Amino acid sequence: MKRQVVITGMGAVTPLGNDISSTWRSIRKGISGIGTITRFDPSPFPSRMAGEVRGFDPLLFMNAKAARKLDPFIQYALASALMAREDAGLAADPGPAQRTGVLVGSGRGGVTTNENNMTAFLSKGVRAVSPFFAPMTLVNMASGYISLRIGAKGPCLDVSTACATGTHAVGEAFRIIQRGDADVMYAGGSEAALTPLVLAGFCQARALSQRNSDPGRASRPFDRDRDGFVLAEGACVLVLEEQDRAEARGARIYAELAGYGLTSDAFHYTRPDPAGDGSARAMSLALADAETEPAEIDYINAHGTSTIPNDLVETLAIKKVFGEHARNLAVSSTKSVLGHMLGASGAVEAAVTALALSEGIIPPTMNYEHPDPACDLDYVPNEPRQRSLNAVLSNSFGFGGFNATLVLKRFQR
């Protein structure tokens, strides 16, 4: 029999705040974390806005020596994991180290350190490169450093599947607990890819919004006038726990993680399959894994990037899976206020989905002003909605055709 898995802790660093509570509060209120880039001069770029992490102090989570060695993506991941541990009530009583694992992924890894050291190398030579360059840039080092800090000696690995990373990380950690290889997993994603080179690459790919005069309204998933996503950064880590263990220690439980599906489009390295086959199958597989009928789903936290093809294909895929019930579903995209946190997106969206379940509040899709005839579902425009929720989906789809879906259910003792 599959073991049941629940979410007992959350931690986050996002453009909306440096903890999960402030992030969730701003999402409910429709407050945008997107603004003109301040970290470097954005004037040469066609897209000059982003969802920046602001006011983050790594010294709240590590000493100055460690902070100097760690790329921001590792700092954000560690901070999120430590906050999740505290939120889950595991700081004082973590349980057996051999039964605790970590699976925190990243799409880009230590790209900030890569760019800084390349600049130093080109201008000053070999001796200007940091001796910590190699470990600071490894994608697996977020998981590795979290494991080191919290003493987790169970399964420790990472995934890197572009924009689907966070959802794959949570899903694979879910599987690890289900099959009995661990009792507790710290799972999520982290990204600190807001650099000149990464921004230039996405600009050249024409993937980003150019609504520079009004950054807070630039990310507009499913809106007729959407013109691309907004780059963002941050991290989110969830504590997943075997249900009997969580209940035995009296843990607060946000939601049950009930199902997981993953597929590949096998179509194109950046564009989604226009037929929506891969994303539809990911949703169907997740529903089957959760032993849940499509008609039982109340809400979908959509991938909803605010690009023309992605939003269209996701809408089509939802219709394929849910048929007439698609008209009864609430569908929203929190990227409208967070921007696209790349490898961290799926994790923070899983956390938001669990909070929506727990509190009975569906977050809105902000900036939805002009209906697109091809995107014709209920996208919860511009205002949160109170509604009792029992079962929900969270979708993530990444460059390379990676698709991942989670099913979460309201926990009832």
- Whose tokens are 């909803």? That residue is 304
Catalytic residue among 168, 236, 303, 375: 303
Q: Is 156 a catalytic residue?
A: no
Q: Is 340 a catalytic residue?
A: yes
Q: Is 325 a catalytic residue?
A: no
Catalytic residue among 156, 163, 236, 375: 163
- Half-sphere exposure of residue 178, counting CA atoms within 13 Å on the CB side? 15
Q: How many residues does the chain have?
A: 413
| CA–CA separation, 378 and 217 (whole Å) | 19
- Whose tokens are 């209920």? That residue is 378
Read off the tokens for 202: 């996405």
Catalytic residue among 168, 236, 340, 375: 340
CA end-to-end distance (rounded Å), the chain: 19
The residues that are catalytic are 163, 303, 340
